[in-house]
Amino acid sequence: MDVNNEKKAIIELQGICKSFSVGKRTAKVLKGIDLSINNGEMTAIMGASGCGKSTLLNIIGCLDVAESGEYWLKGKKVTGKSQKEMARIRNEIFGYVIQDFALIRDDTVLENIRIPLDYSKKKIDKLRIDQLLKSLGLKKLQKMRVSLLSGGEQQRTAIARALVNDPEILLADEPTGALDSKTGQEVMNILREICNKGKTIVIVTHDEKIARQCDRILCMKDGNI
């Protein structure tokens, strides 16, 4: 085993470009992004609204593909992979905390957390889910319907769902955006603990206070970093 494994780049982007066309107009959102993120690192991505942060996160998370440039994940080329392989990467490597939670409101906390397991081959036992509920302070809330939870509780549920598959990389788009500063800080403390356990985390945020708690801040402007 490589002793330097911890410091290795897990995500490497080179010259990543992405445009969106609406009608006849084409807007170039990413204009040749070069980026390297190390294993176990917590990285913040900042930048003005509309500068392409979510677009970049979606490409990193294999939810979208770049139109040019190259992407290596854990040293393997992602660029050019089939839909099926991309789906496998999404299920096995990534956990996603999406802007605005995207929880199923009529389902309970536990039902929401279990959703990714329907798409995964990984064997996750009840004990692990129980530990996850405990570590996020959701044990007592597990049978509650999501629509009855506070914003912070919903965000913790969304984080638990992102972690249930034990992903190597956690991608979080504005994980504190909808929360007051105290609840936002609690969520950050949880993310830091998760990072300390060896996960790689990429957070998109508008909040400098949040970004400063990361190991590294990347600022996006004019389609570049």
Ligand X SMILES: Nc1ncnc2c1ncn2[C@@H]1O[C@H](COP(=O)(O)OP(=O)(O)OP(=O)(O)O)[C@@H](O)[C@H]1O
Give CA separation, 189 vs 40, 63, 135, in Å.
Answer: 16, 27, 11
176 makes contact with ligand X (CB under 6 A): no
Cα 33 → chain centroid: 18
Which residue, 27 or 148, is less far from ligand X as judged by CB? 27
Q: Which helix (H) or strand (E) holds 77?
A: strand 76-77
Which residue, 59 or 113, is less far from ligand X as judged by CB? 59
Which residue, 32 or 137, is less far from ligand X as judged by CB? 32
Q: How many CB atoms lie within 10 A of CB 126?
A: 7
- In this structure, the strands spanning 68-73 and 9-22 are antiparallel
Q: In the bound complex, what is the minimum distance in angstroms from residue 174's beta carbon to Mg ion?
A: 7
Residue from 46, 51, 60, 160 binding ligand X (CB under 6 A): 51
3-state DSSP call for residue 48? coil
13 makes contact with ligand X (CB under 6 A): no
Site string for Mg ion, 48-87 (x = CB under 5 A): ------x---------------------------------
Structure tokens given for 179? 């929360």
20 makes contact with ligand X (CB under 6 A): yes
For ligand X, the binding residues (CB under 6 A) are: 20, 22, 27, 29, 47, 49-55
